[in-house]
Structures are given as C-alpha cells and as structure tokens.
Structure 1
Amino acid sequence: MFVFVLDKNRKPLDPTHPARARRLLVSGRASVFRRYPLTIILHDRLKENSQTQLFRLKIDPGAKTTGLAILQGSVVVWAAELSHRGFAIRDALTTRRQLRRSRRNRKTRYRAARFDNRRRQSGWLPPSLNSRVENTLTWVRRLIKFCPITAISQELVKFDLSKMQNPEISGVMYQQGSLAGYEVREYLLTKFARRCVYCGATDTRLEVEHVVPRSLGGSNRVSNLTLACHPCNQSKGNQDIKDFLSGKPDVLKRVLAQIKKPLVDAAAVNTTRWALFERLKATGLPVETGTGGQTKFNRTRLGLDKTHYGDAVAVGSSTPEQVIVKVNKPLMIKATGYGHRRMCNITKFGFPQVNKKGELAVRKRVKVVHGFQTGDMVRAVVRSGKNVGTHVGRVTVRATGQFDISTAKSKLQIINHKYCQPIHRQDGYSYAEFSTFVHRITD
C-alpha cells in the first residue's frame, strides 16, 4: 500500500512507496499527519515545486461494502473496502419507533397525529440508505485531500434494465460484442442468489436456462430466464417447466413465484448509486460511469479475484488492458458512527435499565476525559501490574481516568490515562488490523 504525501502547506503530492516514506520519517524530513489512511507531511517541499501525476479514484458501491481503488495509469497504488452500517441504523430506528409507540399507548390522553405535517425533500432517502451515500462521500473527500485525484469512476447501475427488457435498444452489436451476456447473467446471479433454482446447488457452474424452451416458443427476455446447474439443465432439456417439475409441486410453486418477481430488486440496488452519482458530480471532478456487467467483464479479463476492491479496479471503460496491483492488503474500513444520545441504556426488551436500588441508571455525559474520548485509538505502554506490555486498541474512557482498551485479541481494564498515547482520534470508523505495518513504519 502506497503512502499519501502532503507538502508543508497540506497540499497533496504523489503517493510514495512505504520504504521511501520510512526513510523520510527517519531522516526527519517528514512527520506522520494521519494514521488511517497513512499520510505523511513533508517539511521542506511545496506542491508548486513538484510535478504530480494523474490519479483516478474508482468506486464500486455496494449494499453492505463499497470497494475503493486509486490507479495511476495501470498501477493500483491504494485500495480499501468500506463496510456500511445501514442495517444497524435500520434496527436502531425500529427500536426507537417501538419505544415511542408503546409510550404513546401508555399515555391515554389524546395526541394528534403528526405524520401529515411532515414533508420529505426531493431526493429523500431513508437513513439506512443515505448513510451508504454519506460514508462513501466522506472517504471521497478525504482521498481528494490526500491524493491529487483528477477523475472518478463509479459503477452507476448494477444492471442495464433497458437493454435487458429490449435487447435492440442500442443495436445488435451490444448483444454480439464483448459484453454479450454479462448484463443479464449478473442480474440473474443476484436475483436467484447464485444457486440452482431446481436443486439449490451452490459453488458450482451455473448456466442460463430458458423456463419456456425456445423450441416451444420461449423468448430471450429476462423474465423467461433462470439459472440451473449443468445436470439439472441437461435433465430438463426442452421440456416445459411444469412437466419437468410435475413430481415436485412445492419446487414448481417456488420457482414460478421467483421467476415472476419484477425488477424491483434491481431498481433498489440502483437507488443509492444515482444519489451518489449526483453528489460526486458536485465535487467538480469528471465522473465516469459503468455498469455491473462491464465491471465483471473487465475483472474477468484482467484475472482479478472477486473482491470489492478488485471490482473497483475494473469499473468503467477507462480500465487499462493490464493492471499492476501494488497493494498487498487493502485497508479494511468499517463505519461505526459516533454513538447515541440516550440518557440511559435499555434492555433487550426495550425497557430502561435500573441499578440495584431500583433507580434509573442515568449515563454520565462525560465525553472527553484527560484529552481522550471513547473510540480513540491509543498505544498504552504499561510498565507494572498485571497488564504489563504495549497494547494498541480503542479506548473506553471513564471520569476516574482509568480506561478500558479493546485490542484485537482481548479487552484490558483499568489502564491509567498516563500510560496512553493517542494514535488516531475517533472519526466514526474503525480499521482492521493493518496497524502492525502502520506502527512499524512510523516508529
């Protein structure tokens, strides 16, 4: 993973190799500006006196994880996978809604409904979906600050719905060219959960199969296509699906219901991508778009593994004929948020927690203690006691000054704040165990 470089005025320069970054830090010409992503700042150089290359940021948005990659020509210099917290937000809102409704039922006085007074703005997204857009934009802005990015590539739609419904919409050459079958196959893999609809087999080669065979008048429309493993496809042959599954009425009912499922799932996948596209254009950088089928074609052509950052490398028509991946391990980023504002914790049943005396356990609103707050990443060097050693992890502060540190392997309690040294301040994200390399390069 290359290291981001800033000049002494905090302007981005070309990322540098980790070995060169280590030499700059040891010689005193640079200091660590930020740990995640690892960024150093030079003390003796200005951007006006340096020539920067052209870098492209590629984004593969996903429902749970978004892939990020930065390319300089055909060289992949940085990559990351950003995990979203959309489902956590949905569950939290559901819990809050249940608590408010139960309280409303307990208070028997009349209370006028307020839902008619609320108006949603144009382009409104549910919080669980909007968080995915905001998380991606946060990291796009950060990377623009740390790297001289000149263009952005985004996988705009997972499936090209128009071309699947009407294959001739852009001419026959689209279906007979190098992308033939990729759009439809990618959609079918998502719709049928990458399993054979007849036997449920997974982790095997799946073939596109016609529900109503072509010999019986079936068409190539996506509503007449499904996925089957090779043995099931051969067994069905040119039979009608009702004849093939005549002895399995339950399977027949499930398959017919799944086939009739409309393209709503594909439209839902595309919802946040369009919102992200509009926000990316507001950055002022040129934004290139591509489809999921094109991404899969490029990834297969380049021989890249099926990973989120691998998909990001293959996004768009700007993907070179060959790529050189200089990333041994991507930075694993997970959105955690900044906590909540509840005055007391609740049980799993939604009731407020009480102490042994039966009193409401109100949380103390102490956010910063001795310069630390919960979520900061620290290095604690303990020289005596049962926790002797050097520990790196996230801190949970207490007003007493005795902190807890959660490391990758365990959770340490009662660590005095005097032993703690800040490494990375709480920013709403957690990072995978990439810290070993970070600490080695910055020590």
Structure 2
Amino acid sequence: MAVLVLDKRKRPLMPCSEKRARLLLERGRARVHCMVPFTIRLVDRRIEDSVLQPLRVKIDPGSQTTGIALVRDQDDVDVDTGEVKKVAHVVLLAELKHRGQTIRDALTQRRAFRRRRRSSNLCYRAPRFDNRVRKAGWLPPSLQHRVDTIMAWVNRLRRWVPVTAINQELVRFDTQALQNPEIGGVEYQQGTLAGYEVREYLLEKWGRKCAYCDAKDVPLEIDHILPRSRGGSDRVSNLVIACHDCNRAKGNMPVERFLAKQPERIRKILAQAKAPLRDAAAVNSTRWALFNALKATGLPVESGTGGRTKFNRTRLNIPKGHALDAACVGNVDDVQEWQKPVLCIKATGRGSYQRTRLDRFGFPRSYLTRNKSAFGFQTGDSVKAVVPSGKRTGRYRGRVAIRASGSFNIQTPQGVVQGIHYRFCSLIQRADGYGYSWAR
C-alpha cells in the first residue's frame, strides 16, 4: 500500500511506502493526518524542497459502484522496437459504492406519505406546482448524488496527492452505434475494438450468465434469438448471451421452438431483449454532467469508452473489477503494480434532518433526540473498543451507532456488536459520510 504524504503546510507530496512512513513516524518527522486512506504530514519538509512526478486519477463510473484508480504515468522505451509505451504504475485502488437507490426509495416513500395525507383531507399543505423551477442540466437527486460523490473524492485526492490529469470512461455503451453501426463510420465498428462494445453490453444486460440455462462462470457466446438464416438481424434486441452447449443445441431454431417446454422463460427472454439496460441509462444520464464537472477543476481530462477499457484489461490479462477497470481506462500500453488491496468506500450519508419515526401511514410514532452526539461520539464515527471483561469481552473495530444511555452498537466486518459501553471506545476517525473497508 502507498501512504499519502503532505508537507508541513498540508500541501500534497508524492506518496511513499509503508516502511518509509513507519520510519518517519518513529523518528518524529511526521504526524498522522488521516487514517483512511492513511495520510501523514511531514513536520520538516516543504513542497518547494520536493520533486513531484505526474499522477493521474482514472475513473470508471458505474450505476451502483464507481472504480477509482490513482496511477503514476511513465513513458518507457521498448529496447527492441524503440517505441515509447505509456505505462501506468498503480498507487491506489478504490471502489466507491453509491446510495442512489436508497435516495430514490426515500423520496418515493416521502411522496407517498404526502399524497396520502392530502387525499385523506388531513391538515396538510396543498401541493405546490407553480413555484418549482428546474435549472438547466437538472438531474434527479439519485443521479446527482453519483456526480457529487465522485467529485468529492476527486477533490479529496487533489488535496492529498499532486494530481496532474484525469481520465474518465465517458461512454460505457454507445447505444446509437450499437443500433446503427454506420453512425460513426465503418472504421469505428470494424477497428481493433470490433465486438467489444456489443459483447460487454450484452454481458451486463444478461447478468453474465446463459439466457437459456442460467449457467455462470463458463465461456459465454453471442447468440441470435431469431437466427440470421431465418431473417434475424444483428441488432442488440435480437442478441443474447448463451453458453456453448445451449448455443450449439439451439442451432438455427427460433427460441420459441428451442424452449417450447419452458414458456415462462421464453416470455422473460423476449421481454428482457427489448428492454434497455437500466444501469447503462443511469450512467449515460450522468456522464456529461460528470465530464463537465471534471473539466471545471482546470485539469486536463481525457475520455475513453467501455470497449477500450475491456480491450486493455483483456490484453493485459488483468482480472475484472471496478477499480482495475478504472486503471485500464484510456490509452495505456501497460499497467503495473495492480495487485494491491482495494479501498471499499460506501456512501452512508450524514444522518437525517427528520426528527421523528414514522408509522406505516406516515405519522409520527416517536421522537428522535436533537443531539447527534453523545459522550464525545457521533453515529458513523470509526472507533476501536477494547472490552476487558464481561459478556462482550474482546476487541472490536468499526462504525459506531450511539445512544444517549451510553450503550453503543459497533458495526464490524463480522456483524453488529450491541451493548458496548462508551468508556471502552476510543475514536479512530470522525464520521465523514462514508464507511471504509479493505478487499482484494
């Protein structure tokens, strides 16, 4: 793991190794600035006395999870051919899990409560329609949340490391080019990336499993619902993903004949084939808003497609993953040092303005405390608890949920531990609206 480094005035320096950071802390030359991601601040170094190298933030936006990779650019010369290759050395890998669906569900519930109170002739305000003006480029809160959280972490990384450029996967699935291959010219569809856009779209749409037998973790092939020999086309609405055995058994039969004994599966396949990919629609709705927000940072922003990302990952034999996909975004010839733990960042929010608990009809049933902190702790803080004796004896580390009584709950990777007294808890990091964990 790379440790992020700041100078004595909290300006970003080049990251260092764990061993060097440990030595700096032991010798009193550095202080801990942030626990996650681990960042130290030097007490005897200024940015004017340091040498900086180009660092790039690469982003792979997703509907539910966004991959983020911090890489160091380097140009290597091939000894045999003399060509200059762009090599990306991975410094940090992270996966940001959005809470857009949670926001959508909360707004839907609130809308239903308000509608019910109005329809029951209860004491509640009338609906307002004439005083709501949406500015240009407005996005629903669940989609705007994706843009805001990604930008929040880009700005954090800019405060912690000397970022010089940004890469974004701007177009994950070019749906217009999929429906009409001639829209971007023949070379666009028949170049080196031929087939990658269509295949990746179908893999996402059909859940990376066979549409006929639900087989997973097997080689999957593209199959036509209505065979081309019977007049079928190459449109994505006529394509499915199938395993080799099912594809061979189906042959040139229509799907209605091949699955004659499974009418329910036939209806499901035909309906899903015509339906657009919901995640792709969410990504396409926010891609330009995110791109414009990144350009507003003043840094050079490069864009790429999902097909090129998969082409790079397949060519370099890198496993599938959101963070690793981010490292492969854009024009890159080689990716090194990618076997690193991944920082999993989960957007949890910063609490609620709501002061009451509601029943199923939307009416208050209990009141919440007005104080969001108790005994120096706040819900969402990262704490370490050492219980010396009793029923909860042990060491626990995770996010805390406070109570006014002083009996806290701690969310650990193994589950929730209830009834931990606040005297056994020590603060690691204040709540910032995110939960952290590590994965490989």
- The structural deviation recorded for 1:348 is 5.8
Equivalent position to 1:411, from 409, 417, 424: 417
**Residues 400 and 251 of structure 1: CA distance in aligned 2, closer, same or farther (over 3 Å):** closer
Residue 439 of structure 1 is matched in structure 2 by: none
Residue 290 of structure 1 is matched in structure 2 by: 304
- The structural deviation recorded for 1:406 is 4.1
Residue 340 of structure 1 is matched in structure 2 by: 352
What TM-score do you get using the length of structure 1 for normalisation?
Answer: 0.87
**Residues 374 and 235 of structure 1: CA distance in aligned 2, closer, same or farther (over 3 Å):** closer
Q: Deviations over 1:10-59 (max 9, x none)?
A: 11000001111111011100000011111000001111111101111111
Equivalent position to 1:149, from 140, 163, 166: 163
- The structural deviation recorded for 1:75 is 1.3
**Residues 19 and 250 of structure 1: CA distance in aligned 2, closer, same or farther (over 3 Å):** same
Amino acid at match of 2:198: V
Higher strand share: 2
Equivalent pair of 2:118/2:126 in contact (CA under 8 Å): no
With 191-200 and 384-393 compared, the bigger mean Cα shift is at 384-393
Does residue 127 of structure 2 align to residue 113 of structure 1?
A: yes
What TM-score do you get using the length of structure 2 for normalisation?
Answer: 0.87
The DSSP-based 3-state class of the residue aligned with 1:14 is: coil
Equivalent pair of 1:405/1:415 in contact (CA under 8 Å): no
Distance in 2 of aligned mates of 1:380 and 1:213: 63
With 70-79 and 164-173 compared, the bigger mean Cα shift is at 164-173
**Residues 96 and 253 of structure 1: CA distance in aligned 2, closer, same or farther (over 3 Å):** closer
Residue 314 of structure 1 is matched in structure 2 by: 328
What fraction of aligned residue pairs are identical, expressed as a percent?
55
- The structural deviation recorded for 1:426 is 0.8
Please report the RMSD computed on the Cα atoms of aligned residues, expressed in angstroms: 2.6
Residue 356 of structure 1 is matched in structure 2 by: none
Does residue 245 of structure 2 align to residue 231 of structure 1?
A: yes
Equivalent position to 1:427, from 425, 432, 440: 432
The DSSP-based 3-state class of the residue aligned with 2:334 is: coil
With 89-98 and 368-377 compared, the bigger mean Cα shift is at 368-377
- The structural deviation recorded for 1:398 is 4.3
The DSSP-based 3-state class of the residue aligned with 1:12 is: coil
The correspondence of residues 94-113 of structure 1 with structure 2, limited to 5 A, is 94-108=108-122, 112-113=126-127
**Residues 285 and 247 of structure 1: CA distance in aligned 2, closer, same or farther (over 3 Å):** same
Distance in 2 of aligned mates of 1:217 and 1:386: 71
Equivalent pair of 1:179/1:294 in contact (CA under 8 Å): yes
Distance in 2 of aligned mates of 1:378 and 1:295: 38
The correspondence of residues 297-308 of structure 1 with structure 2, limited to 5 A, is 297-308=311-322
Does residue 7 of structure 2 align to residue 7 of structure 1?
A: yes
Equivalent position to 1:372, from 371, 374, 377: 377
Distance in 2 of aligned mates of 1:13 and 1:109: 59
Distance in 2 of aligned mates of 1:373 and 1:224: 53
Distance in 2 of aligned mates of 1:372 and 1:324: 38
Distance in 1 of aligned mates of 2:171 and 2:432: 30
Distance in 2 of aligned mates of 1:262 and 1:400: 51
The DSSP-based 3-state class of the residue aligned with 2:356 is: coil
Does residue 401 of structure 2 align to residue 396 of structure 1?
A: yes
Q: Count residues with an aligned counterpart.
A: 424
- The structural deviation recorded for 1:80 is 0.9
Residue 343 of structure 2 is matched in structure 1 by: 331
- The structural deviation recorded for 1:393 is 3.1
Residue 48 of structure 1 is matched in structure 2 by: 48
Distance in 2 of aligned mates of 1:231 and 1:349: 52
Residue 358 of structure 1 is matched in structure 2 by: none
Distance in 2 of aligned mates of 1:33 and 1:82: 22
Equivalent pair of 2:8/2:45 in contact (CA under 8 Å): yes
